[in-house]
């Protein structure tokens, strides 16, 4: 990860510029104060000491179920589409990924669960937006023939695999893909075994996001997450709690590899 990413925030420049250049127009002190407050909370220049939390410091509740919160009444293509392809993410998670890709600048994004390819295409476009030199997205799915030919991007590579058969995950590929990594498990099958298998290739500083399985945490999920976290992961609360405690499709699932087990 780059040095303290908070030093890259420029929000407070806006309020300063307003005061400097438009003092006569910007007469509403409340609106300037509002912007200053937003800026201050985004730019808390000292990283929060409790940003990376151990699983035992967390509970399994959520202030709000992220999926329930964004159920709309208009055609789902608006809520769940990207460039005309399915991309099934909550608006909360779209913002979280957008910021994590900016902050982490991953060289590799691994996605388990390609669906139609829309999410992989979006992640590839994000890498373009942030001019991440050499960055690639590798997306894996059982039903790879359902991936749209429109999901085409020079950074984007699809692979067939069955996550119940771990030997179908190309270990040679994983061992050579450059870090940092952002791994997104959005297939929700055999998650514990998949994560422990992929973890052999994960390096300190990489991120591993477990989507959806933490929304209704079962005992098996809690025990599985304990085993995963025992491999040296902590929960990045800047992401898990950005919209309220665990208001994300990945409650307690924004994991950062802190050390090797």
For residue 169, state whether it binds ligand SAM (rule: CB under 6 A). no
Distance CA 41, CA 169 (A): 42
Distance CA 213, CA 233 (A): 17
Distances (CA, A) of 220 to 58, 189, 223: 17, 13, 5
For residue 93, state whether it binds ligand SAM (rule: CB under 6 A). no
For residue 249, state whether it binds ligand SAM (rule: CB under 6 A). no
How many residues are listed for the chain in this entry? 261
Distance CA 61, CA 252 (A): 9
**Contact residue for ligand SAM among 63, 143, 204, 260 (CB under 6 A):** 143
For residue 22, state whether it binds ligand SAM (rule: CB under 6 A). no
Distance CA 75, CA 8 (A): 37
**Contact residue for ligand SAM among 39, 95, 142, 196 (CB under 6 A):** 142
Question: In sequence order, what are the residues at sequence separation of 6 or more whose Cβ sits closer than 8 angstroms to the Cβ of residue 88?
Answer: 80, 115, 119
**Contact residue for ligand SAM among 107, 108, 114, 237 (CB under 6 A):** 114
Q: Select the span of 28-36, 43-51, 109-117, 200-208 touching ligand SAM (CB under 6 A).
A: 109-117
Q: Which is nearer to ligand SAM, 161 or 240 (CB)?
A: 161
For residue 126, state whether it binds ligand SAM (rule: CB under 6 A). no
Task: Spell out where 85-128 has E strands.
Answer: 85-86, 108-112
For residue 141, state whether it binds ligand SAM (rule: CB under 6 A). yes
For residue 117, state whether it binds ligand SAM (rule: CB under 6 A). no
Cβ-based burial of 102 (10 A; exposed 0-12, middle 13-18, buried ≥19): middle
**Least separation in angstroms between CB 144 and ligand SAM:** 8
Residues that bind ligand SAM (CB under 6 A): 86-89, 111, 113-115, 118-119, 141-143, 161-164, 186-187, 189
């Amino acid at each position: 990860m780059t040095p303290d990413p908070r030093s890259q925030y420029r929000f407070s420049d806006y309020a300063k510029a307003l005061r400097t250049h438009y003092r006569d127009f910007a007469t509403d002190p409340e609106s300037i104060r509002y912007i200053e407050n937003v800026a201050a909370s985004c730019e808390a220049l000292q990283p929060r000491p409790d940003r990376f939390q151990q699983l035992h410091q967390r509970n399994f509740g959520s202030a709000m179920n992220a999926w329930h919160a964004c159920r709309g009444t208009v055609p789902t293509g608006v809520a769940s589409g990207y460039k005309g392809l399915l991309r099934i993410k909550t608006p909360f998670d779209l913002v979280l990924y957008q910021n994590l890709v900016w902050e982490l600048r991953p060289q590799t994004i691994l996605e388990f669960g390609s669906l139609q390819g829309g999410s992989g295409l979006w992640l590839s476009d994000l890498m373009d937006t942030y001019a991440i030199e050499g960055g690639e997205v590798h997306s894996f799915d059982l039903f790879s023939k359902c991936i749209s030919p429109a999901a085409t991007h020079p950074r984007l590579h699809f692979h067939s695999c069955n996550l119940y058969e771990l030997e179908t995950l190309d270990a040679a590929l994983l061992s050579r893909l450059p870090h940092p990594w952002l791994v997104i498990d959005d297939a929700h099958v055999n998650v514990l075994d998949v994560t422990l298998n992929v973890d052999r290739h994960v390096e300190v500083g990489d991120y591993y996001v477990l989507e959806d399985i933490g929304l209704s945490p079962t005992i098996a999920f809690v025990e599985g997450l304990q085993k995963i976290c025992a491999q040296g992961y902590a929960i990045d609360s800047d992401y898990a709690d950005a919209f309220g405690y665990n208001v994300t499709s990945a409650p307690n699932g924004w994991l950062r590899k802190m050390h090797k087990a």
